[in-house]
Amino acid sequence: MPEAVLLVAHGSRSSAGRDELLALAGGVAAARAGTQVRTGFLEMSDPPASRVLDELLDGGAHDVTVVPLMLFAAGHAKSDVPALVLDARAHHRGARIVYGRPLGVDHALLALARRRLQAVGAQGLPLAMLARGTSDPDANAEAWRASRLLADMSETQLVVTGFSGLTWPTVTGALEQLRRLGARRIAVFSWFLATGVLLDRMRDEWEAFASATGVGVLDAGYFGVEPELVSLVWARVDEAAAGAVVVNCDVCAYRRPFPGVSDRVGMPLGVGHSHLAAEHRHHAGDHSGDHAGHDSGDHAGHDSGDHAGQELRRPRRPGAAAC
């Protein structure tokens, strides 16, 4: 059991979204009162994750587990958060700082999404599963995997994945695919932890689509703050603290070239689009102001040889680099 846990979230321009993430973190803390649980953000929200991690270590914690409060392993989870961990290790050499994996496509999340669909009478309807868009091919593929699994769990045989931006298909494009396949009513589930600017924008898009086409769109919501999420976060903490984290890097764009993003192979940690992550790491200036930037989910960059300096374990193929 670690002395302290740091949950690292992306951050949002939406105060409601930030509040939901903090409420989730509060549930995590309440579940195990003997462990100190803190929350930090990479950008657009305070407090900065690097500052919180230093506060924990300077305050006497010698064993800290860092877990990304993120759904898919795009560049923030692959690069920016690990860079925070490596920076902290360099400045606190006597401490044990380990890094867990994102929440991922977990059965608990799928069961919660199914419950959301049931709550609005949408189980069995043609399904649009909407996720945060990213330029990371691996993360986008995970969204498609989640869609298929959720379709099987919710007893539908017609499912399309859509994204908030940066990749295809768009929200409207996904809904239009279902319409052309004959759907007259569509269930929408948003694979998001909390509300925010992107979710509001997507909702406007599907409401406009429904108005223009006459196709009914049932909003099944998003994950929100639930006991299943609290338990899942602790599962990620426990496996990281035990040194049992296993990640799949076989199709990671930072280890294998993908057309259009081949320059990412071997890219150093923490050099993705998130300029504020670097700012947070070095505590430069006053972070209390407006972290205006993006809410896109395009998170590039991590080292191909050392997966974020994490204490991760995975079987190695002959000739394969350690991840």
Same domain membership, residue 208 and residue 120: yes
Nearest by Cα to 60 from 82, 36, 81, 39: 36
Same domain membership, residue 138 and residue 192: yes
In-domain check, residue 189: yes
Same domain membership, residue 197 and residue 62: no
Give the torsion through C-alpha atoms of 108, 102, 149, 202, to 10 deg: 100
Which residues, 6+ apart, have CB-to-CB distance to 319 below 8 Å? none
Same domain membership, residue 236 and residue 207: no
Q: Which of 219, 234, 251 is the last residue of a domain?
A: 219
Nearest by Cα to 60 from 1, 5, 8, 4: 4
pLDDT at residue number 256: 78
In-domain check, residue 302: no
Q: Which of 219, 241, 267 is the last residue of a domain?
A: 219
Q: Which amino acid is at 18?
A: R
Q: What is the DSSP string of 215-271?
A: -EEEE-----S-HHHHHHHHHHHHHHHTT-B----TT-TTTS--TT-GGGTTPPTT-
pLDDT at residue number 19: 96
pLDDT at residue number 306: 34
In-domain check, residue 297: no
What is the domain-level CATH number for residue 205? 3.40.50.1400
Same domain membership, residue 234 and residue 92: yes
Same domain membership, residue 236 and residue 213: no
Same domain membership, residue 244 and residue 97: yes
In-domain check, residue 294: no
pTM: 0.82
* Residue 91: CB atoms within 10 Å: 12
Whether 195 and 14 have beta carbons less than 8 Å apart is answered as yes
Which residues constitute the domain of residue 119? Answer: 107-219
Q: What is the DSSP string of 15-48?
A: HHHHHHHHHHHHHHHHH-TTSEEEEEESSSSSSB
Same domain membership, residue 121 and residue 134: yes
Number of domains in the chain: 2
In-domain check, residue 42: yes
In-domain check, residue 163: yes
Q: What percent of the chain is helix, strand and coil (3-state, nearest 5)?
A: 40, 15, 45
Same domain membership, residue 113 and residue 69: no
Give the torsion through C-alpha atoms of 223, 9, 85, 93, to 10 deg: -100
Same domain membership, residue 54 and residue 134: no
Asked if the bond preceding 137 is cis, omega within 30° of 0, the reply is no
In-domain check, residue 97: yes
Same domain membership, residue 272 and residue 131: no
Same domain membership, residue 239 and residue 156: no
In-domain check, residue 33: yes
Q: Which amino acid is at 147?
A: S
Nearest by Cα to 60 from 85, 94, 25, 100: 94
pLDDT at residue number 257: 82
Q: What is the pLDDT along the chain (323 residues), one digit of tens a residue?
A: 899 999 999 989 999 999 999 999 999 999 999 999 999 999 899 999 999 999 999 999 999 999 999 999 888 888 889 999 999 999 999 999 999 999 999 999 999 999 999 999 999 999 999 999 998 999 999 999 999 999 999 999 999 999 999 999 999 999 999 999 999 999 999 999 999 999 999 999 999 999 999 999 999 999 999 999 999 999 999 999 999 887 767 778 777 787 788 888 887 766 544 444 455 445 433 333 333 333 333 333 333 233 333 333 323 333 322 23
Q: How many residues does the chain have?
A: 323
Sign of CA dihedral 230, 195, 310, 39: negative
